[in-house]
Structure 1
């Protein structure tokens, strides 16, 4: 069966007609105004395929027309910053609106009003191969991912910088096209995507049925067909004199961080494990959300519950507990830990390991770590940890840039790992050590990390950890792991990444390069940090609705009253707070619309003086899509709309538990795929 082909391209600034009174953005914001203005420009109305005269569009249409002339079938849609998603035959008039001059939030807001994502999602259902010829700004106009069936493929002709926006989902592929390709293929940068798709169509024309099916089975064939077409063009054949140059052009990606077969680590056979850092992450199980009441006389260490108690099972493979967090806790907590052991204190099933480390960020500014090896060995043993990590000293930021300091910390970390394993082996029998030792390394580039790992392998470690990478870009971690992967000695060797839990496809690549365990509190902490990522779903993050508690004794409202802000009485803050909460409950019960609910929330926002104008659109998006109602986790089912309210520990931390559940569900899905 012949695959059905859809091409999605962007509008261009150059148009067939450009009258002085062409449409502008405000003309598209009201239906009646748009109709009136279109009538004024009726003499310039043509179909969308003919309206655009930019170089990409002309090159694309030339290739499409030649393909159609020999009987080929292909559908073209155009993303217009004015009209939204256009069919090629749609009748339009000249306009001057582009996403290229808008900032990201404006793009998102206007594209949503234009219904671009929903229209595109509906459109792609009818096609097997979907090609996107879009610049980064137009990619931002789509709320990714567009859902695809297992038998569909999406191929993007895009700049290399757009890979991270695209390659987080299955069946998405990128042919990287940029300045290098424009120069080598002697075509302008703006139009190169259209030109190269035209070359693809030329090659397909000779055997279109078989070729499209080949691409559907192996999307990388797109690159091969384009190169073959260019080689057949005598004007371009000179660029292929050097094979290495050909290999650098039109790089094809099916994942953001590809791992060649010869780089897959020997320990890839081990199942990856996600550890969750723990720092008193408990909530009151009896909290009353309607009255915001929690019994102040309860003992949180005994009464309050952890995420795994709410869900009935851990939403992670193990816990990570830093010594610095225990040292800073109450005496009662420390005594309970020593008496009960780590598993007993956390009420964690025995099948879930607990890893301990020293919490190096807490002493980053000190000349040396504040602990001795003997002290740490006894600490891990006394509290019955399953894994214990050697002492390290961070090589990050200014400490990495100063060559003398970084070398000093690097060597200190290695020497403490050597002392750790030596004393562990010497005293294991006499002291009855039951925890497994992990040696940690620091570094500043791929080679320094690899040499440190090699040294710890020489010392006898079968489990090592990479520290200091929590704030690094994924591409740098990728480079480090590619350097380390070839030295991993055997199938049972384990490697941990501290503080790194990126999207699951990236972690899949890291797993191939030897990472067998990793940890991050990011899904949990995001619940109450920043804007845009407070409430997670598998394909999208949302902003939680900020309704801080109105208290005379603490918080933002107390501060504003003390500062005499607008001479407002506490009763006014309390009234607007309660009206915002009531509006949300009425909305949840379908007795109030989105606009009325958002307006009530913003009234409280206004007197808090937080300059939250940007939140209006984000709140409207959250309430319109109601993602908590689609979630089947225990927390969303139990507390409903309260899970998306940014307000106090009992809501915020529960939302963090939900986020961790979402992330761990993705980890589990990855494990199923990996086992196959």
Structure 2
């Protein structure tokens, strides 16, 4: 099974000084900062997923790319842009449209021709057909004699449009002799509707099919869909789960034909989840929150209103950072650190109480036994919830840990088999990386 990491331009600055919290004045983000695959000496994932909606931006969701970055990606291609030659293992790059960015539109904002041109120009290894995501799940629609009115016409129209676009996509992909492998997208609202979409895509000629719209589903619901798809799936048809990562269910998903998946969950949980921020082999730990005064709106508001003094807040913030440093040097006990952390938390978020979770994190100190480059380099800084440089690196650690868990399960030995032939990639003379 292959793990693709969706790109959201998450990089880290190798010049960042964690003690002084400063970076090099000469740093150039695109050329000096590091992608996750450049941080580790062992594989952390198998591929990248690049969405047109993320690159271009759509509606209120702006692009994650600056104008010059978009131009570089299109002119030089994704392998050069992402520096995949610096990865410890071969990295494949998959492109999709980013259907969640236009989920509220009546139709996808991109034509098949525009998407094919985007995939080819970026020199992707795989390209996903244009789709229109379905978010409702109505399993009752599969019951014998179920009322057809259970499924709104809008959902049936979205599935029909997605299949029509997939058929056009594959036909023009073949006619254009494109260098990437095409994936068709199956959208549905129930197990049987997903199976019907997969069956239709196989009839068109697809043997690599992406399953969309499953992000909101519970694991049991995904399993039911995969079981139904298994009834119609050809032996050589591979399945890709778009946006879904359920680590504990991956072995079962593999048995049901899942050859690859993509997910940002390990990265996002590092700084989005209230509790599960740091992955270990058998547990997810809560990161130690020491927010910067300037970056905490609630704390800033309380300071501005005169409820608390800025001097007092800054003193507690510094005390927390010092306590963690002393703890790492074995000069502070868990209790001493938790006390000062709790005092600061009562200042910036009196409705929260992470004391028990902090005690577990500090007692186990999981970063001390993690062999990844992030933990070895950052030591206790990796567990501190504070600023993008620490938080992203903790997310990188989570990605690396998930991949190691897949290896321990033996899932990484599965392959997506057929690899598309690629054109030689030459670098224009005179252009420096």
TM-score bucket (shorter structure): 0.7 to 0.9
Match for residue 117 of structure 2 among 352, 355, 378: 378
Aligned positions, number: 394
The answer (yes or no) to whether the contact 2:36–2:396 under 8 Å persists in 1 is yes
Counterpart Cα distance in 2 of 1:285 and 1:560:
34
The answer to whether structure 1 residue 280 and structure 2 residue 23 are counterparts is: no
Q: 1:498 to 1:672 in 2, by over 3 A?
A: closer
Q: Give a deviation string over 1:129-182, Cα, whole Å, max 9, x none.
A: xxxxxxxxxxxxxxxxxxxxxxxxxxxxxxxxxxxxxxxxxxxxxxxxxxxxxx
The answer (yes or no) to whether the contact 1:388–1:437 under 8 Å persists in 2 is yes
Counterpart Cα distance in 2 of 1:511 and 1:605:
43
Partner of 1:624: 363
Match for residue 367 of structure 1 among 106, 116, 119: 106
Q: Give a deviation string over 1:457-496, Cα, whole Å, max 9, x none.
A: 11011111100001211111111111111322233x2210
> Which has more radius of gyration?
1
**Helix, strand or coil at the partner of 1:516:** strand
Counterpart Cα distance in 1 of 2:296 and 2:197:
49
The answer (yes or no) to whether the contact 2:269–2:276 under 8 Å persists in 1 is yes
The answer (yes or no) to whether the contact 1:549–1:555 under 8 Å persists in 2 is no
The answer to whether structure 1 residue 473 and structure 2 residue 192 are counterparts is: no
**Helix, strand or coil at the partner of 2:77:** helix
Partner of 2:429: none
Q: 1:313 to 1:332 in 2, by over 3 A?
A: farther
Match for residue 303 of structure 2 among 555, 558, 561: 561
Partner of 1:587: 327
Q: Give a deviation string over 1:427-464, Cα, whole Å, max 9, x none.
A: 22xxxx11111100100111111111111111011111
**Helix, strand or coil at the partner of 2:175:** helix
1:674 to partner: Cα distance: 6.5
1:292 to partner: Cα distance: 1.0
Counterpart Cα distance in 2 of 1:284 and 1:557:
27
Match for residue 419 of structure 1 among 168, 183, 189: 168
Q: Give a deviation string over 1:506-561, Cα, whole Å, max 9, x none.
A: 1111111111111111111100012221011010011101111122x875443333
**Helix, strand or coil at the partner of 2:200:** helix
Counterpart Cα distance in 2 of 1:488 and 1:397:
23
Partner of 1:323: 52
Counterpart Cα distance in 1 of 2:302 and 2:257:
52
Partner of 1:499: 243
Partner of 1:535: 278
Q: Give a deviation string over 1:294-351, Cα, whole Å, max 9, x none.
A: 2355221111101111113440011111111111121111111123210111111382
Counterpart Cα distance in 1 of 2:114 and 2:320:
52
**Helix, strand or coil at the partner of 1:664:** helix
Counterpart Cα distance in 1 of 2:128 and 2:90:
20
Q: Give a deviation string over 1:54-104, Cα, whole Å, max 9, x none.
A: xxxxxxxxxxxxxxxxxxxxxxxxxxxxxxxxxxxxxxxxxxxxxxxxxxx
Counterpart Cα distance in 1 of 2:411 and 2:273:
33
The answer to whether structure 1 residue 304 and structure 2 residue 46 are counterparts is: no
**Helix, strand or coil at the partner of 2:257:** coil
The answer to whether structure 1 residue 577 and structure 2 residue 317 are counterparts is: yes
The answer (yes or no) to whether the contact 1:307–1:314 under 8 Å persists in 2 is no
| TM-score with structure 2 setting the length | 0.87
The answer (yes or no) to whether the contact 1:586–1:592 under 8 Å persists in 2 is yes
**Helix, strand or coil at the partner of 2:217:** coil
Counterpart Cα distance in 2 of 1:673 and 1:311:
17
Q: 1:671 to 1:609 in 2, by over 3 A?
A: closer
Counterpart Cα distance in 1 of 2:411 and 2:100:
35
Q: Give a deviation string over 1:17-41, Cα, whole Å, max 9, x none.
A: xxxxxxxxxxxxxxxxxxxxxxxxx
Match for residue 448 of structure 1 among 193, 202, 206: 193
Which 4+ residue blocks in structure 1 deviate beyond 4 angstroms? 398-402, 553-556, 672-675
Counterpart Cα distance in 2 of 1:528 and 1:477:
26
1:609 to partner: Cα distance: 3.0
Q: 1:452 to 1:540 in 2, by over 3 A?
A: same
C-alpha RMSD of the superposition: 1.9
Match for residue 260 of structure 2 among 510, 517, 520: 517
1:424 to partner: Cα distance: 1.1
Match for residue 82 of structure 2 among 328, 333, 346: 346
Counterpart Cα distance in 2 of 1:363 and 1:427:
27
Counterpart Cα distance in 2 of 1:287 and 1:590:
25
**Helix, strand or coil at the partner of 1:517:** strand
